Structure 1
Amino acid sequence: MQSLKTTQQFSYTYKKGMRTQRAFFAIYSLPLEGLPPFFGTPRTSLLGLSVSKKVGKAVQRNLLKRRVRAILSHARLEKQVIVFVARAGISSLSYAELKQQILACLKRKHPHKGALRRV
């Protein structure tokens, strides 16, 4: 799984992607087909993580990012662009709870053949 790099890529995903949200996070998703040239030609899914200082100190934010990367790398997903946006209070979730909530969001199908839909 590759990562999103530029603000332009994040902004495009926020505007055009389908959003699914929970109490402690939101996930935006776009299919890889028909992406603008500034995304390049990705061979695998693209992942962007947005974890603000409201989530906690650097140790907590980095732990959360490692957990989300691990969960999504082991999940069998269609190739797509995913942006994970963490909200305050997410550090109270255990790994098992976080995994269950993320996978529940990803089970929803969205109209563009991705793994999410707008809520």
Structure 2
Amino acid sequence: MQKKYRLAKREHFSQVFRFGQSVANYQFVLYSRKNANIEEFRLGVSVSKKLGNAVVRNKLRRRMKEIVRHHREQIAGGYDLILIARKPVADMTYQQMEKSVLHIIRKASLWKPKKR
């Protein structure tokens, strides 16, 4: 994921957690906060040690970022987002993860309609 799409600093994560809104489904939690200083969205990803060892966590993290990267044109800009994986994600296929991530983005009203 390109640098302009990354949410990396601890202080930015803290602001999103403190002042943002959360939406959840069984597999993921999405925190979002409006940020007027940016045109695009920025994404932070979190995978707990409860989900597995470093290999498993990094695989899940890469998949989550790749799903968002593929659909970045349809995600609303001007937001800081944090996507947190829950326990059931460890057993999901890529297609199931993609469906669930897109569901939670739509649930948070961050999905732009397709242009015709």
Per the TM superposition, whether the score is higher than 0.5 is yes
2:75 pairs, out of 70, 74, 77, with 77
Q: SS state of the match for residue 19, structure 1?
A: strand
Q: Contact 2:27 / 2:100 at 8 angstroms: preserved in 1?
A: no
Letter in 1 for 2:9: T
Q: 1:10 to 1:71 in 2, by over 3 A?
A: same
Compute the TM-score of the two structures, normalised by the length of structure 2: 0.80
Q: Match of 2:88? A: 89
Spell out structure 1 runs of 4+ moving beyond 3 A.
none
Q: SS state of the match for residue 89, structure 1?
A: helix
More helix by share: 2
What is the CA distance between 1:44 and its match in structure 2?
2.7
| Structure 2 CA distance for aligned equivalents of residues 13 and 81 of structure 1 | 7
Structure 2 residue 34 is matched with structure 1 residue 31: yes
The CA deviation string for residues 52-82 of structure 1, in whole angstroms up to 9 with x for no partner, is 1111111111111111111111112111211
Once the two structures are superposed, the pairs formed by residues 30-109 of structure 1 within 5 Å of their partners are: 30-33=33-36, 41-75=37-71, 76-79=74-77, 80-109=79-108
What is the CA distance between 1:83 and its match in structure 2?
0.1
What is the CA distance between 1:88 and its match in structure 2?
2.1
- Please list every run of 5 or more consecutive structure 1 residues that lacks an aligned counterpart in the other structure: 34-40
| Structure 2 CA distance for aligned equivalents of residues 89 and 67 of structure 1 | 14
Letter in 2 for 1:96: Q
Q: SS state of the match for residue 13, structure 1?
A: helix
